[in-house]
Amino acid sequence: MALKITKDMTFYQILQMSPEVANVLNQFNLDCGECLGATSESVAQGVRAHGLDLDEILAALNAIFED
């Protein structure tokens, strides 16, 4: 079963899944590894706070784990 990132996961959780996650987040100017909210803020909350498209970011993140 492939890994899947969901909107309800925290940035901390997804950053632990693969080093590539940080690279994808950086493409959207999300430097979540430096953010104090990374342990408690969900992907949906962070993306919304930055005015970005949640579906686009989730698709890019989940592309990391496609076979």
**pLDDT at residue 40 in the model:** 85
Report how far residue 4's alpha carbon sits from residue 31's, in angstroms, rounded to the nearest whole number. Answer: 20
Q: How confident is the model at residue 31 (pLDDT cuts 50, 70, 90)?
A: confident
* Type and span of the H or E element at 22: helix 19-27
Hey, where are the domains in the chain? 11-65
* Type and span of the H or E element at 47: helix 43-49
CATH of 11-65, one of 3.40.630.10, 1.10.3910.10, 1.10.150.120, 2.40.50.140: 1.10.3910.10
**First-residue to last-residue Cα distance in the chain:** 10
Q: How confident is the model at residue 53 (pLDDT cuts 50, 70, 90)?
A: very high
pTM above 0.75, yes or no: yes
Measured CA to CA in angstroms, residue 63 lies from 13, 20, 34, 37, 42 at distances of 17, 10, 23, 24, 19
